Amino acid sequence: MLTWLKAKSEGKLAKQICKVVLDHFEKQYSKELGDAWNTVREILTSPSCWQYAVLLNRFNYPFELEKDLHLKGYHTLFQGSLPNYPKSMKCYLSRTPGRIPSERHQIGNLKKYYLLNAASLLPVLALELRDGEKVLDLCAAPGGKSIALLQCACPGYLHCNEYDSLRLMWLRQTLESFIPQPLTNVIKVSELDGRKMGDAQPEMFDKVLVDAPCSNDRSWLFSSDSQKASCRISQRRNLPLLQIELLRSAIKALRPGGILVYSTCTLSKAENQDVISEILNSHSNIMPVDIKGIARTCSHDFTFAPTGQECGLLVIPDKGKAWGPMYVAKLKKSWSTGKW
């Protein structure tokens, strides 16, 4: 039987909330989210309320752990209610805060589970990966979404790209920890500036995931260096331009008829809806894909804020559903020529 831990509240709460960041978020998100911001702020600033989902590794399946999760009252994500949900992916959630211990990385031994924010699986599920498809994870570190993609299907080719060298090491270790050696033959890891990927591999991929660099609201709130936090905030206005450039590169890398999913872990409208609106307005060959059905199906486990977009969802942290922030948008590349 596992030793169960409460949420790492003592260690997490020892961290100070960064007032510079909180004040900045207060001004922006109270306008963008309205009254919902009060609850979101309460959850984001209270790590003892945070929840952790358990994604089981089908390549080293933890049957005993699964029994323990059932005994502890965990339930499976979506509980079979989402159309096209891959049977090979098993993710367990609890309604109460808490987490099980993380496994240590051991060379030669595959880990049995991955702890994550359950909302981070929504971009993966929106991509609807099928066996044999060629898929690009453009900003792949630390690797959780790549691991989740491989729980869904066996792609013909998975390209995991990460431009940051330190995060690239993290990505490689994650893949090594979860993926058996034979499967690594269909996986390529690269360290390319994502903005150049489209020119390097034009119309190469059936599916592309752009989990873009963003204002990571959860971690930014606990910035230990207020000067660094102030610098982040001042540079924040540059992120949408980077995100748009990454998406334009992803569109080039996507074959006609292919699917593109964009995601961030921020609440910021400028980095979410506004970025997608710019792409849709400037690319006549990119079409929005309605994913409202996911929100209807997932309302039992997630709380969604209105986005004003049929192709975009925003998960916001709520009491008993402390998942997110996570924005997800789904697009399709048509066969016509787009504006650039």
Q: How far apart are the C-alpha atoms of 299 and 333, rounded to whole Å?
A: 29
List CB contacts of 80: < 8 A, sequence separation 6 or more: none
Find, among 184, 186, 136, 189, the residue nearest to 162 by Cα. 189
**Could you say which DSSP state residue 108 is in?**
T
Here the tokens at position 161 are: 């790209």
Annotated active-site residue in 152, 160, 214, 265: 265
Q: At what angle do helices 165-178 and 144-152 cross, to 10 degrees?
A: 30
Q: How far apart are the C-alpha atoms of 285 and 328, rounded to whole Å?
A: 20
- Prior bond of 142 cis (ω within 30°): yes
213 annotated as ligand-binding: no
139 annotated as ligand-binding: yes
144 annotated as ligand-binding: yes
142 annotated as ligand-binding: yes
Residue 265 catalytic?
Answer: yes
Find, among 305, 248, 246, 244, the residue nearest to 40 by Cα. 305
Q: How far apart are the C-alpha atoms of 143 and 140, rounded to whole Å?
A: 5
141 annotated as ligand-binding: yes
State the residue for tokens 């996570």. 326
257 annotated as ligand-binding: no
Q: Which residue ranges make up the annotated binding site? A: 139-145, 162, 193, 211
Catalytic residues: 265
Q: Which residue ranges make up the annotated binding site for S-adenosyl-L-methionine? A: 139-145, 162, 193, 211
